[in-house]
A = this chain, B = another copy of it.
């Protein structure tokens, strides 16, 4: 995708990318404050770029900025997560419907490879591998769907959900169930059936939402919880 970035970008963009990575990684935990001076020192830059990056992340919904208190990594409230799942279901359904009308042999092969990789990962109970391939599967579909705006919003929202979705694939049964949805979607895509693909895609996303809900027993998801003490 867009992993190539020699250096023609302003520093704040690179800092933002690095912070995003650290948040997704788990290097920075939800609820934690982004210490500007510490991060600046760690990344070898000044506070300016770090501040700009933090504000960018706020706009995306990954952090919350409080006046005179700083930027905190968000703990997405439950209702917001549910709304986001509904949004993603809509977008992913659209993407699949679009792709069903224009899919090429190469694209089908690519998706099939990812599907089979997930099948193997599920059998081997390799949650981390499955997680990575799962992301790639969805992102490839959205990239093939030929609507950059829909793709961009989907990626942004998905990144937000990753703040806690990682733990959803801890069991082999969960992975198998998820991949069954992928199979149905893939078949509809290759059959050139837009509405069928859309339905399967929406159903699959609802399944993800359900897995997400069952994965959280009662962690902090209150609206304003986990911000400051």
Interface residues of A (CB under 8 A from B): 8-10, 12, 48, 51-52, 55-56, 59-60, 65, 67, 79-80, 83-84, 86-87, 90-91, 94, 147-150, 153, 157
Total identical chains: 2
B residues within 8 A CB of A157?
Answer: 149, 153
Which residue of B has the minimal Cβ distance to A10?
A: B67
B residues within 8 A CB of A8?
Answer: 67
Q: How far is the CA of A151 from the CA of B148 in the complex (A)?
A: 19
Q: How far is the CA of A56 from the CA of B86 in the complex (A)?
A: 26
Which residue of the partner chain, among B60, B84, B90, B91, contacts A59 with CB atoms under 8 Å? B60
Whether B52 contacts A147 by the Cβ 8 Å rule is no
Which residue of the partner chain, among B52, B55, B87, contacts A149 with CB atoms under 8 Å? B87
Q: How many Å from the CB of A8 to the closest CB on chain B?
A: 6
Q: How far is the CA of A80 from the CA of B51 in the complex (A)?
A: 30
Which residue of B has the minimal Cβ distance to A77?
A: B148
B residues within 8 A CB of A91?
Answer: 90
B residues within 8 A CB of A150?
Answer: 83, 86-87, 90
**Which of A8, A51, A60 has most chain B Cβ within 10 Å?**
A51
B residues within 8 A CB of A80?
Answer: 148-149
B residues within 8 A CB of A84?
Answer: 149
Known A-B contacts A90-B94, A91-B90, A153-B153; A55 and B12 likewise in contact (beta carbons under 8 Å):
yes
Known A-B contacts A60-B59, A153-B153; A147 and B10 likewise in contact (beta carbons under 8 Å):
no
Which residue of B has the minimal Cβ distance to A160?
A: B149
Closest 4 CB pairs of A and B: A83-B149, A87-B149, A83-B147, A59-B59
A to B CB contacts below 8 Å, 13 in the list: A8-B67, A52-B52, A52-B55, A55-B56, A56-B56, A56-B59, A59-B59, A86-B149, A86-B150, A90-B91, A90-B150, A153-B153, A153-B157
Q: How far is the CA of A12 from the CA of B65 in the complex (A)?
A: 11
Q: How far is the CA of A12 from the CA of B67 in the complex (A)?
A: 11
B residues within 8 A CB of A56?
Answer: 55-56, 59
